[in-house]
Chain A
Amino acid sequence: MRITFVKKILANGQPCAKCADVERRLTASGQMARIDRVVVADERDPQSEGMRLAARYAIAAAPFFVVEDGDATTIHTVYLKFSKEIFGRRAEAVAEAQEMLRANPDLDLI
């Protein structure tokens, strides 16, 4: 299994706060050791690797994770869901739902 973590740099050059938060959690939990690559989606550079990955997989929000396992590639846009499914770490359900909403802003209009 090969895991790529994609984090974003805003158009003003600042790191995306949510990406920084997820990176902190990855580090604190020790999960960062199991991340194979960290890639930047730089809004100032559409050709940056992270932006190209976002375009390739039609991802609209950062951060996200690309998990390659044999022939299968899966994309995870919700950190807590990713953490549960890939690392087996259970999150509080409401926190996970909140993160799902952040990653999928249309859901609040349902």
Chain B
Amino acid sequence: MAEPLARSWAEPEATPEEQALAVLEDAFAEFDRIAISFSGAEDVVLIDLAARIRAGVPVFSLDTGRLHPQTHRFLETVRKHYGIAIEALSPDADEVAKLVRDKGLFSFYRDGHGECCAIRKIQPLRRKLMRLDAWITGQRADQSVTRSDLPVAQDDLAFSTAQHPIVKFNPLAAWTGTDVWDYIRRREVPYNPLHDQGFRSIGCEPCTRPVGPHQHEREGRWWWENAADKECGLHAQNVAAPIRRADLPVQRIPTRMTGR
């Protein structure tokens, strides 16, 4: 199973694949309580990469209760293909029941997706991360403007607390969508059949739709919402290049991982 691994991802000549392998190798070496977050979409690449490094990689998936049936079937395909356990994280039944009772099953079309995502995604994720010291995502810099400066490793400011720092690894940060699909085809990685129907970004069934070839994948999510919802963003053009943050009292991140 083991393959020759990449050089340090910090080496400028490293390919995105080599870099991702090196990041994963370092992440697994650094943290025992670590897991991959798998959405059931293109981030299957992460699982394939991790499986090249070690068997039985820990994987969890946010089973929101509103996923496409194709995604559920794909999770099962991946589980069998790689011989791994996928921990399905469910939302709190009482919180879902209250939301549905008070606002119905499609409140997000009227009120925005925030409350539903908070209950079905953020809360289960937060509960899971309380039991981890690091997690690995398939986020890429090219997925949205808010991810354009995405590092391969970062202090997770969203979920860390002063008592429990958490590190987030994004091994695919430098990959493009083309890199992902080249990899999937070259290594014959199983993929969610919804991609063949024009879905570039795959989330919950009511909130995801196919996009055209020249549309950004984000346009396939929450298309009914107003861009004004994002007005809290400090627009990038007005924010100078960040220096290293000295914010959270988080644990040390290996020097190599902050130097990218």
Kindly list chain B residues whose C-beta atoms are within 8 Å of the C-beta of A102: 114, 232
Of B123, B126, B239, B247, which contacts A60 at CB under 8 A?
B239
Contact with B along A1-30 (1 / 0, CB 8 A): 000000010110000111100000000000
Contact with B along A52-64 (1 / 0, CB 8 A): 1011111111110
Q: Is the CB of A107 within 8 A of B234?
A: no
Which residue of B has the minimal Cβ distance to A45? Answer: B238
Of A58, A81, A103, A110, which contacts B242 at CB under 8 A?
A58
Of A16, A19, A106, which contacts B146 at CB under 8 A?
A106
Q: Does A101 contact B (CB under 8 A)?
A: yes
Q: Does A39 contact B (CB under 8 A)?
A: no
Determine how close the nearest CB of chain A comes to the CB of B34; give it in whole angstroms: 16
Determine how close the nearest CB of chain B comes to the CB of A8; give it in whole angstroms: 7
Q: Most A CB atoms within 10 A — which of B233, B235, B239?
A: B239
Kindly list chain B residues whose C-beta atoms are within 8 Å of the C-beta of A54: 234, 239
Determine how close the nearest CB of chain B comes to the CB of A44; give it in whole angstroms: 8
Q: Is the CB of B231 within 8 A of A97?
A: no
Kindly list chain B residues whose C-beta atoms are within 8 Å of the C-beta of A31: none
Q: Does A35 contact B (CB under 8 A)?
A: no
Q: Is the CB of B95 within 8 A of A94?
A: yes
Q: Is the CB of A98 within 8 A of B118?
A: yes
Given A46-B240, A108-B113, CB of A94 within 8 Å of CB of B123: yes
Q: Is the CB of B158 within 8 A of A94?
A: no
Q: Is the CB of B139 within 8 A of A97?
A: no
Q: Most B CB atoms within 10 A — which of A16, A41, A52, A100?
A: A100
Q: Is the CB of A51 within 8 A of B234?
A: yes
Residues of A bordering B, CB below 8 Å: 8, 10-11, 16-19, 41, 43, 46, 51-52, 54-63, 72-75, 77-78, 81, 85, 93-95, 97-98, 100-110
